[in-house]
């Protein structure tokens, strides 16, 4: 990767490693379940049903 980074830098292109996919999944999950207002509560019923069915 360092060799490619050196080659690309000649053209003003900079290599940036991607974040791990797992971290992005956690961020998306938290963002989806975070209420936008204090009165709003997420619907956890589907999650409860999955837990009870196992």
- Averaged over 39-50, what is the pLDDT? 67
The parent domain of residue 36 ranges over: 2-53
pLDDT at 8: 82
Q: Which pTM was predicted?
A: 0.31
pLDDT score of 47: 67
* Percent of the chain whose pLDDT exceeds 90: 0
Contact 38, 45 (CB under 8 A): no
Count of structural domains within the chain:
1
Kindly indicate the confidence band of residue 40, based on its pLDDT and cuts at 50, 70 and 90: low
Q: Distances in Å between the alpha carbon of 45 and those of 27, 30, 38? A: 21, 17, 19
- pLDDT band at residue 17 under the 50/70/90 scheme: confident
Judged against a pLDDT cut of 80, whether residue 45 lies above it is answered with no
């Amino acid at each position: 990767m360092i060799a490619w980074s050196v080659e690309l830098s000649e053209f003003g292109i900079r290599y940036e490693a991607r974040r791990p996919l797992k971290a992005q999944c956690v961020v998306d999950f938290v963002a989806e379940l975070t209420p936008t207002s204090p009165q709003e509560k997420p619907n956890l019923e589907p999650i409860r049903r999955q837990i009870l069915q196992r």
